[in-house]
Amino acid sequence: MRLRRIELTLGTLGTFKMGIAERVTSGDIRAVARLIRDIDDKVPEAREVLKDLYPSTGRAYVVGITGAPGVGKSTLVDQMITHLRKTGKTVGVLAVDPTSPFSGGAILGDRVRMQRHSMDEGVFIRSMATRGYFGGLTQSTRSAIDVLDAMGKDYIIVETVGVGQDEVDIVQSAHTTIIILIPGMGDDIQALKAGILEVGDIFVVNKADREGADRTVSDIRLMIEMDEKRYRDGWKPPILTAQAVFDIGITEILDEIEKHHKYLTSSPVRQSRVMYEKARNDLVEMIKDRIVHEVLEEIIHSGEFEEVLQSIANRRIDPYTACDTIVSRKLKSGGK
């Protein structure tokens, strides 16, 4: 009896003293949720926790899902969760929705399609807003991936906002990138050609019961065939059809993800090149984010930012000179 009580006390103390990083790696949902929020809010301490967590990362398989608004990204993610859970895998989801450029607010609605998983302990779903300006999106999404990875999720699915330049960035954090399209997007495919089509590892034509699905598939095929360098390395992106709402075609998508996974890991040279590219991207983004944040924080705080903006708006000075002045002063001060 007495022994048990001592154990209990120690246990409680242990929990109390446990750092945030330990709580995250032990799967504590509140700790994970708060940390992601702190990362998003750029709380400096969150960075320290991320350093502690880093050794526990690198185990999860990250899948990026992108495509125009309304193509069925959230519904597809929802079905993928169901299938992955049947095989006993745990899943983390980061669903990104746009921030209003006018109010800074956002409605995060991707969760609606995935709510049936909210009681499942093996699934953690988090909505994130793009929060516009300073490229912070990619930074906090990347870090949030690390958090879910350290938490022990087997798969992390990142659902981006609709198609654009930024989404190519996010997608670079993923091992496998899936591009979703729907029939009747002929012209849109043309528009996407340069950006997003180049980063797709798997293409899914969703809502395939609609007229024109075959046409969309052959359009993408043509695009891929023309882009020889994309598959010279041994991976030719497959084009699948699906009807996510009816749970049709999901198994095939997961099979292709698995194949792509095997492809990435089958060659050590390829794998280390992928890791190197990812490291380069992550670091460049991190440095950019950090510098922008530090430079702007200081001058916003001192009121100089507002003054300079007014001067540029009134055409009293040019933005190039303003930029040079601000940046070179910051660099000379040694970033302090």
Partner 1 sequence: MVAKPGLDGHDRGARIIARAYRDAGFEVVYSGLHQTPEEVVQAAIQEDVDMIGLSSLAGAHMYLFPRVVELLKEKGADDIVVCGGGIFPEEDIPKLKKAGIKEIFTPGTPLRDVVQWVEDNVNPRSS
Q: Single out the segment in contact with partner 1 by CB under 8 A; choices: 26-34, 160-168, 174-182, 220-228.
A: 26-34
Residue 316 DSSP symbol: S
260 binds partner 1 (CB under 8 A): no
Name the segment binding partner 1 (CB under 8 A); options: 2-10, 99-107, 190-198, 307-315.
99-107
| Residue of 30, 301, 316, 332 that binds partner 1 (CB under 8 A) | 30
Residue 11: count of CB within 10 angstroms of its CB: 10
Nearest to 119 by CA among 40, 252, 203, 29: 29
Sign (positive or negative) of CA dihedral 242, 80, 114, 139: negative
- Judged by CB under 8 A, the residue of 7, 15, 19, 45 near partner 1 is 45
| DSSP string for residues in 45-105 | HHHHHHHHHGGG-S-SEEEEEEESTTSSHHHHHHHHHHHHHHTT--EEEEEEEPPPTTTS-
Nearer to partner 1, 107 or 275 (CB): 107
17: contact with partner 1 by CB under 8 A:
no
Q: Is 127 in the site for partner 1 (CB under 8 A)?
A: yes
Task: Compute the least distance from the CB of residue 336 to partner 1, in Å.
Answer: 25
* Minimal distance, residue 118 CB to partner 1, in Å: 5
112 binds partner 1 (CB under 8 A): yes
Secondary structure (DSSP) of 234-287: S-PPPEEE-BGGGTBSHHHHHHHHHHHHHHHHH-HHHHHHHHHHHHHHHHHHHH
Q: Which stretch binds partner 1 (CB under 8 A): 37-45, 196-204, 208-216, 274-282?
A: 37-45
- In whole angstroms, give the CA distance from residue 148 to residue 91: 9
Residue 104 within binding range of partner 1, rule CB under 8 A: yes
Instruction: Please provide residue 248's backbone torsions phi and psi, each rounded to the nearest 5 degrees.
Output: -105, 125
Binding mask 129-148 for partner 1 (x = CB under 8 A): x-------------------
Residue 34 in contact with partner 1, rule: CB under 8 A? yes
Q: Please identify which residue in 38, 149, 219, 256 interacts with partner 1, judged by CB under 8 A.
A: 38
Residue with smaller CB distance to partner 1, 45 or 277: 45
Among the listed residues 18, 27, 42, 43, the single contact to partner 1 using CB under 8 A? 43
* Minimal distance, residue 27 CB to partner 1, in Å: 12
CB of 21 to partner 1, least distance (A): 14
Nearer to partner 1 by C-beta: 34 or 288? 34
CB 293 within 8 A of CB 134: yes
Paired tokens of 286: 């991190």
CB 178 within 8 A of CB 85: no
- String of DSSP letters for 3-18: HHHHHHHHHHHHHHH-
Residue 41 in tokens = 């809010």
Q: With binding defined as CB under 8 A, does residue 115 bind partner 1?
A: yes
Residue 309 interacting with partner 1 (CB under 8 A): no
105 binds partner 1 (CB under 8 A): yes
Listed residue (36, 31, 35, 32) closest to 15, CA to CA: 31
Q: For partner 1, which is the closer residue by CB, 128 or 174?
A: 128
> Which positions touch partner 1 (CB under 8 A)?
29-30, 33-34, 36-38, 43, 45-46, 99-100, 102-109, 111-113, 115, 118-119, 124-127, 129
